[in-house]
Copies of this chain bind each other. A is one copy, B any other.
Amino acid sequence: MGRREDVARLAGVSARTVSNVVSGTVNVAAGTRERVLAAIEELDYRPSEIGRMLRSGRTGVAGLVVPDLDNPYFAELARKLIEAARGHGYTLMIEQTDGVRDRERELLARADTKAIFDGLIVSPLGLTDDDLSRSARTQRPVVLLGEEPHPGFDHVHIDNFVAAREAVEHLLGAGRRHVVAVGAQRTVRSSSSLRLSGFEAAMEAAPDATAQVAYVDTFTRRGGYDATRALLHDGPLPDALFCFSDLLALGALRALHDAGIAVPEQVAVVGFDDIEDGRYGHPSLTTISPDKEAIAQAAMDALVRRIGGDESEAVRVLAPHRLVERESTG
């Protein structure tokens, strides 16, 4: 690949003129332009993105920090985010944290130091306000996804409380009277606390119904499987499960099937996330469907706005969700 000097020499102009042709921001005589373009073609010259980055201070790269691409919710979200980023002329660098707080902190710190992003979209699990405000010193904007807002940061989310309540109301409305919330967590701070609150709110409005909470270790199929097994072993059979994620629900479905319990006849199941797997499984999964495209779009919009220098107060964007009824609730 030729360098700009070589192109200039071949075209019989100065190096600066080559730049003018390439950037197109300055008037260049038609004849000159053609000679330069020919020389560029001839020598296979391509301007260096890194030089431009250095000069302009912009990289056109945004970081995405998610717990885990294995998780279909994040994989589907990442897909939409990559598309949204492309729409803004941005490329995404993806990092995984496995929900480990130290990894999340480390990546935030790297955003200050080694990294090259213009900004960062973070889906945190274990970060505290303190972790975040410590990193707020950075010049680089951060947009948060997920349940919890943090003061001073843009935040894109769905109304988890209302969504959870609607899911449970759907179960109650179908006549279910013993509903178990699957997905509370003892270890992790308050992830999903809004979903739990929504569950509780719906249950309190139905005094004749029994509410129960099942704890899980991880938001995985195995977590849902193990929790449901324990549930079936320990006590009376409920007639509905509200799982805090589709993965949990898929694990629960499997455990119910293994125990010979019919879904939805004996137990109805609702999930949360609307991942593709839930649509083709047997039975297909009723779930809360967050508008992932809206989330991705809003997050990139906010990030690009901040990168553009917007210093206004942090915004909270509410993306739509809807309840999708499928076979698992009849």
Contact = CB atoms under 8 A, between A and B. Distances in A.
A53 B55 CA distance: 13
Interface in A1-54: 1, 44, 46-51, 53-54
B83 A91 contact: no
Contact of A221 (B113, B114, B280): B280
A116 B58 CA distance: 13
B69 A79 contact: yes
Given A225-B280, A251-B280, A91 B96 contact: no
A82 B94 contact: yes
Contacts of A116: 49-50, 53, 59, 61, 116
Contacts of A70: 75-76, 79, 276
Nearest to A252: B280
A223 to B, nearest CB: 11
Given A49-B116, A116-B49, A221-B280, A82 B59 contact: no
Contact of A96 (B83, B113, B114): B83
Interface in A53-87: 53-54, 59, 61, 68-70, 72, 75-76, 78-79, 82-83
B96 A79 contact: yes
A91 B91 contact: no
Contact of A92 (B44, B76, B94, B112): B94
Contacts of A114: 49
A79 B79 CA distance: 14
A88 interface: no
B68 A79 contact: yes
Nearest to A250: B280
Contacts of A150: none
Interface in A252-294: 253-254, 257, 276-277, 279-282
A325 interface: no
Given A82-B69, A96-B83, A282 B282 contact: yes
Contacts of A276: 70, 221
Q: Among A44, A139, A282, which residue has the most Cβ atoms of chain B within 10 A?
A: A282
A93 interface: yes
Nearest to A116: B49
A95 interface: yes
A319 interface: no
A50 B76 CA distance: 31
Interface of A: 1, 44, 46-51, 53-54, 59, 61, 68-70, 72, 75-76, 78-79, 82-83, 91-96, 112-116, 137-139, 221, 225, 250-251, 253-254, 257, 276-277, 279-282
Closest 7 A/B residue pairs (Cβ): A75-B75, A221-B280, A69-B79, A277-B277, A254-B280, A46-B113, A257-B282
10 contacts: A49-B116, A53-B53, A53-B116, A68-B79, A69-B76, A91-B93, A221-B276, A221-B279, A250-B280, A277-B277
Given A91-B93, A225-B280, A250-B277, 5 more contacts: A50-B116, A61-B93, A75-B78, A83-B96, A281-B282
